[in-house]
Amino acid sequence: MKPLILLLFINILFYSCKQPKHNNELKEMSDSISGKLTIFHAGSMSVPLKKIADEFKVENPKVEVLLEAAGSRECARKIIDLNKECDVMVSADYAVIDDLLIPKFASWNIKFASNEMVIAYNEKSRYSSEINAQNWYNILLKKDVAFGRSDPNSDPCGYRSVLTVKLAEIYYNEKGLIDKILKKDNNYIRPKEVDLLSHLELHTIDYFFIYRSVAEQHNLKYVTLSDSINLKNPELTDFYKTASVEVSGKKPDETTTIYGEPMVYGITMINNTANKVAALAFIKFFLNKEKGMKIIESDGQKSVIPSITKTYDSLTEELKQFAKK
């Protein structure tokens, strides 16, 4: 056999043997990840998380992913007060993880996406042809209009709705706007913002405060608010901080003050997770720009990876690529 032909034959034989081995290694890695994986998450993450979980299961068919939606503060309460089993928590506000879970229940926190406040409605909403970024509060205050918001003690969208109103009073120089808005339609306050979707569909309410991504995911019409009040723009952090709201603290008899800031979501692994291997695999999949984050961005949220985290030193080496010190 000529040397050139012999060399070609050896190369073909080498690669034909190597490739199946590589595929088998990948399959073995996937097969080693199994068991139940419980994820507590913000209601606003329901749509992208369902897609992410489905894609994750394609790569890891032996993992049973259990998704449980609630307001982010309520998610944390289930872990703190009720000792409910949870492996991964995805919060609509990274600060919920910092304030309520670290260090006892979680060791680190990775920020992954941003969002903004809007006011959602549909074609049935009263005055839907008139409402805009300048007159929205006048429309909401009309006697024949009903609007909803979520509970600040349970849900970041709830306290962000309050912060938006407080900033609006300053920005529009409308004295008394806070009391007028916050004292109206309190019978339409719900544990999490997505609970209000059915009320809008049934025309029980005309409008509700919601994240832009959720409005887009559910094909709702919405009013885009000024950056000065929508909690979107990092350059307006100092102005956002002029507004604050009191919510329940770590203990039942305590309260804590939430100050306005640009909204950023966070993810963590619970310290006593029963399935650390699957939890870390899911988090890496979730934060991967070509996997989980690609789905999140397609569903209306902008990636902020990598972002600074004060818990950087507590991250495993494989997760440090998604954060900054």
C-alpha distance from residue 178 to each of 108, 152, 169, 255, 269 (Å): 36, 15, 6, 20, 37
DSSP strand E in the chain: where?
A: 35-42, 63-70, 88-91, 110-114, 117-121, 147-150, 189-190, 207-211, 221-224, 244-248, 255-259, 264-269, 307-308, 323-324
Closest CA to 63 of 88, 89, 91: 88
* 76 exposure class (CB count in 10 Å sphere: 0-12, 13-18, 19+): buried
Same fold, 33-114+265-324 and 117-259: yes
Given a contact cutoff of 8 angstroms between Cβ atoms, the answer to whether 166 and 258 are in contact is no
The class of domain 117-259 in CATH terms is alpha beta
Strands 207-211 and 147-150: parallel
Give the domain ranges of the chain.
33-114+265-324, 117-259
Residue spans of alpha helices (H) in 135-251: 136-140, 156-171, 177-182, 197-201, 212-217, 237-240
Helix and strand totals (H; E) in the chain? 12, 14
Residue 281: closest CA among 57, 109, 102, 94: 57
Architecture of domain 33-114+265-324: 3-Layer(aba) Sandwich (3.40)
pLDDT at 12: 45
Residue pLDDT tens, the chain, 325 long:
455 444 444 454 444 444 444 444 444 455 689 999 999 999 999 999 999 999 999 999 999 999 999 999 999 999 999 999 999 999 999 999 999 999 999 999 999 999 999 999 999 999 999 999 999 999 999 999 999 999 999 999 999 999 999 999 999 999 999 999 999 999 999 999 899 999 999 999 999 999 999 999 999 999 999 999 999 999 999 999 999 999 998 887 889 999 999 999 999 999 999 999 999 999 999 999 999 999 999 999 999 999 999 999 999 999 999 999 9
Question: 51-110 pLDDT, tens per residue?
Answer: 999 999 999 999 999 999 999 999 999 999 999 999 999 999 999 999 999 999 999 999
The answer to pTM > 0.85 is yes
Distance of CA 101 to the CA centre of its chain: 16
Q: How far apart are CA 44 and CA 158, in angstroms?
A: 12
Comparing CA positions, the residue from 217, 191, 183 lying closest to residue 295 is 217
